[in-house]
Structure formats: structure tokens, C-alpha cells
């Protein structure tokens, strides 16, 4: 799994007061699950070798997010994934920018659905 421990620690620091966060190695990186749902993750970009965030946000407001520096639609095998975004370093280098993305992901999390395999019984 390729991801930056430094970036993972920066994200991890935003979850210190929560008990509903679980870290999972998946999708080639580290994902922070909140209430059993993917919230935000860290991953190394294979092409550039640089770090990036993976963030799950409201798919109905992409223009709000895409207008921010470093934000791009998440593209897996040539297909954009609605509600998932990559944030490149220029979009999270400043602590205030990273805090923005974590806050947005946490605000959306209660509205997100669990994957079929992770739904609680």
C-alpha cells in the first residue's frame, strides 16, 4: 500500500475526539471509515508519485468543490465516480485547507450510504 504516513497523521489528527473512526487499508491507500462508511483517505498517485487525498462528498454540489484548488473528480479506470474527489497537494498543504476537506467529508458522512457488503444488519 502506497501512502504518506505524514499525510495520514495530519488527517488522523482531525479524528482524535471521535470513537466512530476506523482505518482500513484499501484502494491502494489508507481510508478513514466513519460510521462504517468511507469518509476520507490518503494515497500516492501512481503517475506523479505525489500524495493525494480521496474525499467522499455530496455528489450534487461538484462545482462548489471543483472550484477549489487541487480538487479533481475521482477517476477510476477512465470513469468518474460521482461524489468522490481527489485533492492534490496544492489543495491541502495549508492546515486550513486540509481542515476544510475533512469538515466537508464529515458533514456529508451521515448522508452517505454504506456499501452493500458493509450495511449493518
Residue 48 has pLDDT above 70, yes or no: yes
pTM for the full model? 0.89
Residue 117 within a domain: no
Return the HEC string of the chain: CCCCHHHHHHHHHHHCCCCCEEEEEECCEEEEEECCEEEEEEEECCCCCCEEEEEECCCCCHHHHHCCCCEEEEEECCEEEEEEEEECHHHCCCHHHHHHHHHHHHHHHHHCCCCHHHCCC
pLDDT band at 12 (very low <50, low <70, confident <90, very high): very high
Cα three-residue angle 63-65-68, rounded to 5 degrees = 110
Residue 57 lies in a domain: yes
Q: How many domains does the chain have?
A: 1
Whether residue 118 is contained in a domain is answered as no
By residue range, what is the domain housing residue 48? 5-112
Q: The domain spanning residue 92 has which CATH number?
A: 3.90.1150.30
Residue range 47-63: mean pLDDT, rounded: 90
The answer to whether residue 49 scores a pLDDT higher than 70 is yes
Quick check: is 34 in a domain? yes
Q: Is residue 120 part of a domain?
A: no
Q: Is residue 105 part of a domain?
A: yes
* Mean model confidence pLDDT for the chain: 90
Is 121 contained in some domain? no
Amino acid at each position: 500500500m502506497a501512502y504518506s504516513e505524514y499525510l495520514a497523521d495530519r488527517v488522523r489528527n482531525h479524528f482524535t475526539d471521535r470513537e466512530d473512526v476506523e482505518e482500513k487499508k484499501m484502494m491502494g491507500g489508507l481510508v478513514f471509515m466513519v460510521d462504517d462508511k468511507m469518509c476520507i483517505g490518503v494515497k500516492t498517485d501512481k503517475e506523479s508519485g505525489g500524495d493525494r487525498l480521496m474525499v467522499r462528498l455530496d455528489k450534487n454540489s461538484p462545482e462548489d468543490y471543483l472550484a477549489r484548488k487541487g480538487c479533481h473528480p475521482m477517476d477510476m479506470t477512465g470513469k468518474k465516480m460521482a461524489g468522490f474527489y481527489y485533492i492534490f497537494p496544492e489543495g491541502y498543504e495549508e492546515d486550513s485547507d486540509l481542515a476544510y476537506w475533512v469538515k466537508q467529508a464529515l458533514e456529508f458522512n451521515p448522508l452517505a450510504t454504506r456499501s452493500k457488503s458493509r450495511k449493518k444488519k
